[in-house]
Structure formats: structure tokens, C-alpha cells
Amino acid sequence: MIPSQRVYLLLALGIAIALLLAILINQQVSIIGTLLFDAIILGLAIWDAQRVKSHRVQVNRYPLHRLSIGRGNPVILSVQSGNHSAKIQLRDYYPLDFEVSTPTLQTTLNPNSNQELTYTIHPDSRGEFLWGDIQVRQLSPWGLAWHDWKIPASEKVAVYPDLIGLRSLSIRLALENTGTMRQSRRLGTGTEFSELREYGIGDDTRLIDWKATARRSRPLVRVLEPEKEQTLIILLDRGRLMTAQVQGLKRFDWGLNATLSLALAGLNRGDKVGVGVFEREVINWIPPERGQHQLPKLIERLTPMQPVLLEPDYFGAVTKLVNQQTRRALVVLITDIVDVTASAELLAALGRLTPRYLPFCVTLRDPQVDRLAHTPTEEVESTYTRAVALDLMAQRQVAFAQLKQKGALVLDAPANQISEQLVDRYLQLKARNLL
């Protein structure tokens, strides 16, 4: 039983009554009257709190399935009242490391009614976490006390990569398959034959199928689309630089989200997709396969991966790839670059992939460095900070220039935007048939 604010007000009123009795009668009567009044109030509060037990509200937490890291995941509590109205306060024992929108939920229910209360939780790390019980407080009928109890609701909940983002991307790709890809076929881009259609003004005359034209007695052109059944290999670095925190998540988590987004886009376009995670050695290799069954396999295999404080062996990862994948493929390496000297091994490793493969180096930039570099300064200390940020950006550009000279494609984007930009770049490569 927890006394309500009304009880404290009544006890304060008892003090005022005691002072009045002391003035009008005597001090002894005042003390006895005060004790008797307080005892009555506290007794009523205890009795009022006990009355709640007969009409406690029923509270259930909707099952928590797979949560997405870095996203606002809704958690829904269903509350049902009995034959009496109920004013309640709820607190769900979520993992304390996570941010929540509303730590304590409160509402008032009419008799025999149902209501859903929702709060949003923002996980910042992957893995299994324990959700505890639900703490409930219900105000007594006379409003003298809160009846407090726990509802057993403990469960283990898994936090996965950004599944919400994958669902949004899946919808986007489905829409593009019915719109953008048709447009690309009308333009005749690609190398794979799709269909024949009548010649239209502006069509390339080189695409006219003369045999079909002769049979039909009207000009027909071949519609080409980007070649399918190509191979996409993603190498994800989990070394030292990927342990840094960027925009609330580790750089590796941003890279993992980008890996799964790119894999989804590749599978959607009919490519074989394989993934390798490496540091000093390749510790997780998933051979390239095509089909929608590949994405769940990637999610389950990659979700337990965590970054480590080890320097990555780029050359070893590329050697493993060359031994495993003999056919030409688009090789996307997701990592980070400091400068030319520190990234010398990366430059040499990607150089080994050309011209047999198409190497694509993707780096995750810290948006805070961009902000510091482009913010005008007046104080000496902030000027030095800006100079360091500008120097870091300049050294990265030198490293990227050398990568391009070796025939590698380059994408340097803020970590929190890397998934969208990487998918867009991949779709452009497919549309232009560069692989």
C-alpha cells in the first residue's frame, strides 16, 4: 500500500485541527484528537487499498518479436478493467541500457473497458536481452492509496539489425520492379533479351530484329534488360576502426545494416549474394546463393557478429575470396579509411581484384567530422579542432583517389546514410550493366 496525495492532505488537515483544539480546549485533548484522527485516516487508507484486490486490472504485454537496432520499436501493453473504473500507472522493466519514449505509463479506464498503452524503445546494441515483469499501481476507490503489485511477464527478446529498414527497402524495390525496371527495358539498356515490341520513334535502329520484322511485316525491336544471375560478394570489416561509436551505434552496426540492405537489393535483382566477415581472418563465410531463402540465412548468421579490437587483414580476406569465387563478381568491401599510409594494405588488396573482379570500396564517414570541418570558428581551440577535421577529410580523399586509379569504385558516405546510398549506387551499376 502506498499512500496517495489525498492522504497526506488529510494528515496535514489533522495538524490544523490539532492546533485549533489546542487553542480552544487544551494541549492534551489536541494530542489525543490528532492521534485518533491520523489513525482513522491511515486505517481507511489501508482498508481502501485492500478493496482494489477484488477488481485489479488485467495487464498483458504483446509478444515482443525481433526488435531492430537503432530504430523506435513500439511495445504495446493491453489493459482491461473490471466492474469499476480504474486509474493506473504502469512501468515495464525493459533493459535499462536502452532509451525509451515514456518510462511510466498512466491512464484512467472506464468500467469493463480495454485500452492499449504504447511506448517506444530504442535499442543501441544487438543480442538477447531480458524483459522483466510489469509493475502496476492502481488507485483505490476513495483515492486514499495506491495498490502496488507485479505481473509476471519476463521474457528474452532478441535485438536484430535494422529489420524495419529492410521491410521498407523491400517495398521500395517491389515498386521499382513494376515501374523503373519497365522503363529501363523500354530504353533498351542491358544485354539480356527480354521481349520484342513494335518500333517507336526514338528507338535505337541497332536493336531492330530484322528476321522478326520480315515475318511480321512491321518493324520490331529487341527489348533488353540488365543481365541477371550475376554475383555479388560483400566483405564486411569487423576490425578496430569498426568499433567506434557513430550517431549512437557502432560503425560495425551501420555496416551490417548496409550489408543486409545491399544483399536484399541483390537478391531482388536476381543476383547471387555471398557475405564474408573478417578481421585477422575470415571468421564467417556465407557462399553466394540466389533466392529469397538467402536473406534469412544471412540475418541469422550475421546477427551474432560483433566488432573486435584487431587490425583487419584485407589481403587475407581478398585471398579467401579469390580462392572461393572464381567467376567474375562485384566485390563490395565495407570498411573505413584513415589515410593512405594506414590503408596501404587495403589499397594493395583491392588492386589485386582488378581486372578479374569489379572492386567497390565503401567507407563509413563520421557525420560529426563533416560538421566540425564545415562549421566556421572564432575561438582558437575550435579552430584547431576544425583544422584536424579538414586534414582527416583531405587524407581520405587522397586514399580514394588512389583507389580509383587502381580501378576500384568508391563510395564514402555518412554512416547513418550508408544503406540508402549504397543500394542506390548498386542499382545504378545494374542499370548501366557495368558488371
Q: Looking at the predicted structure, is the pLDDT value of residue 331 above 90? A: yes
Q: What is the pLDDT of residue 184?
A: 46
Q: Count other Cβ atoms within 10 Å, centred on residue 147.
A: 19
Using DSSP bridges, classify how beta strands 145-151 and 58-61 pair: parallel, antiparallel or unpaired. Answer: unpaired
Parse the chain into domains and list their residue ranges.
2-53, 55-160, 192-225, 231-432
Q: What is the average per-residue pLDDT within 44-71?
A: 90
The predicted pLDDT at position 226 comes to 55
Side-chain-side CA neighbours of residue 334 (13 Å): 31
pLDDT of 229 > 80? The answer is no
Q: In percent, how much of the chain has pLDDT > 70? A: 94
Residue 359 phi, psi (nearest 5): -80, 145
Sheet holding 105-109, edge to edge: 2-3, 145-151, 134-139, 86-92, 105-109
Q: Cell 492499449 identifies what position?
A: 116
Model pLDDT, residue 126: 94
- % residues pLDDT > 90 (the chain): 52
- Strand duo 231-237 + 272-278: pairing: parallel
CB atoms within 10 A of CB 139: 23
Judged by average pLDDT, the poorest of 175-184, 301-310, 311-320 is: 175-184
Q: Which H or E run contains 391?
A: helix 380-405
Q: pLDDT tens, 179-221? A: 544 444 444 455 555 677 787 777 777 778 888 888 888 888 8
* Per-residue pLDDT at 185: 46
Q: 142, 1 in Cβ contact below 8 A?
A: no
Query: What are φ and ψ of residue 31, in 5° steps?
Result: -65, -45
The least confident of 34-38, 102-106, 244-248 is 34-38
383/377 Cα distance (integer angstroms): 6
What pLDDT is attached to residue 26? 72
Rounded distance, CA 212 to CA 355, Å? 38
- Tell me the sheet residues that pair with 92: 134
Max mean pLDDT among 7-21, 50-64, 249-263 falls in 249-263
What distance in Å separates the CA atoms of residue 156 and residue 84, rounded to the nearest whole number? 34
Which CATH number is associated with domain 55-160? 2.60.40.10
d(CA 238, CA 257): 13
| Residue-level pLDDT at 186 | 44
Q: Is 188 helix (H, G, I), strand (E, B) or coil?
A: coil
Gap between the Cα atoms of 335 and 236, Å rounded: 7
- If 0-12 CB within 10 Å is exposed, 13-18 middle and 19+ buried, where does residue 42 land? middle
DSSP string, 304-368: T----SS---HHHHHHHHHHH--S--EEEEEE----TTTTHHHHHHHHHHTTTSEEEEEEEE-HH
> pLDDT for 353-387, tens place per residue?
988 899 999 999 999 988 888 888 878 788 888 89
User: Which architecture characterizes domain 231-432 according to CATH?
Assistant: 3-Layer(aba) Sandwich (3.40)
> Where does the pLDDT of residue 237 fall: very low under 50, low under 70, confident under 90, or very high at 90 and above?
very high
What's the Cα-to-Cα distance from 291 to each of 267, 268, 271, 386, rounded to whole Å? 6, 8, 8, 48
Report, as an integer, the average pLDDT of 384-409: 88
